[in-house]
Structure 1
């Protein structure tokens, strides 16, 4: 795999994630899971830039990965920085009201985010965040990484339901489900999965 192809995957994946968040999630105050979801909660509550919040929340995780999983650090840093940058650069897209139902909007946002993450994973890179955190925790608690990611996502959308609105929980669950399915489809047969 060439450096150029990985760079294109990071660029296209980051833009797709940013479009999913700004066009479909933010207008309805919907969350994604993990660090992106926590960044969105902070953005909704304190009117900060979502990408900047995501970047700040990622610093401790990337600091740990520098010492424990240096390859993850290098393979995820560019994805996190570029996706956070594009989320903030495309912030004005959330002013464009796409007139579809909040459920369809949540689903579409999840599909776009899942595609962006899946594309990056396909080229052995990612946005870091929850993936890195789950990796650390799985070694401590001896649990499957996917289960830990699911637990983190559920925790994040429950926080959103508590602090943002109860409707946020339902719509965010749709986003996470759509994103998870899309990521799975994009990474199908990756490393021998069937």
Structure 2
């Protein structure tokens, strides 16, 4: 059921992204960023549909992602790219509004939300999303900002091929897309987790089995009751918070849990291993 739910979310988001392309961006020749933007350029300059170019350009990047991010992630990414490409073939290119600025804003918001959901459910739209994820595994940089930086080259390409006014609309669109992606994809946000529990060994074992994070355990004592407790400290991502809560509640419903946002993590956070084992 989890797999079907994940694929269903990716399927819907991929269609929504195709709608954003064909109804907001392409009618005004406003491009998406990265490989998708290059596919749009080729689609506008050649008789071959942008969806076909999207598949061809993504193949080498997906092969690299397969080796670095795992087959499940790339399988979901291929599914997303295929759905988007097919949807772009059948969804008509219709100009929803004549205002290019409105189209760039709404196209950026819609495509950003779609990309964020796809990545949230352990997939990608291929292209620079895969490259951005590989880079964010090494550095705690927001994915949207990373992808925006990588996509900026497409803006200059579109400026030379078309005109600089459209290039600026493209820049606005991919900037908005990056902001929306970072509102949905919050993996770069780290949280400090503190758990005070009378069942320290059980909670520690459960978290170590499912969380793939380091945990520091100290002895504590309740000031009012005098009861002996264990205090568990760890740093997790915002994604992991969703399943950490029920894990703790399952072992000790009366545990005291404190969660605060962490500005920076120095040391081994085990980003690489954890991304494959726990995509969420």
Superposed CA RMSD in Å reads: 2.5
Cα distance, 1:59 vs. partner? Answer: 0.8
Displacement, 1:164?
2.0
Deviation at 1:115, TM superposition (A): 1.1
* Match among 91, 105, 108 for residue 107 of structure 1: 105
- Is contact 1:160-1:168 (8 Å) kept? yes
Residue 57 of structure 1 pairs with residue 57 of structure 2: yes
Larger-gyration structure (1/2): 2
Q: Note if 1:166 corresponds to 2:212.
A: no
Change beyond 3 A, Cα 1:145–1:130: farther
C-alpha deviation, 1:177, in angstroms: 1.6
Within 2, Cα distance between the matches of 1:180 and 1:50?
Answer: 22
1:44-92 CA distance string (max 9 Å, x none): 11132111111110011112223333333223111111112112221x2
- 1:16 aligned to 2:62? no
Q: Normalised by the size of structure 2, how large is the TM-score?
A: 0.61
* Larger relative contact order, structure 1 or 2 (CA cutoff 8 Å, min sep 6): 1
Deviation, 1:166, is: 1.4
Flag structure 2 segments of 5+ consecutive residues without an equivalent: 190-236, 240-260, 262-280
Q: Distance in 2 between matches of 1:178 and 1:136?
A: 22
Select between 56-65 and 70-79 the one with higher mean Cα deviation: 70-79
Give matches, 1:44-123, under 5 Å: 44-71=44-71, 72-90=73-91, 92=92, 94=93, 96-123=94-121
CA contact (8 A) 2:148 2:178 kept: no
Q: Number of paired residues? A: 190
* SS of 1:174 mapped into structure 2: helix
Structure with higher strand content? 2
Bigger helix fraction: 1
CA deviations on 1:82-140 (whole Å, 9 max, x unpaired) are: 112112221x2x1x332341000111111111111111122122212112233556789
Structure 1: state its 5+ residue gaps.
none
Structure 1: how far apart are the matches of 2:137 and 2:185?
Answer: 23
Say which SS state the counterpart of residue 24 (structure 1) adopts.
Answer: helix
CA distance in 1, matches of 2:119, 2:132: 15
- CA distance in 2 between counterparts of 1:16 and 1:110 reads 12
* Separation (CA, whole Å) in 2 of partners of 1:105 and 1:114: 13
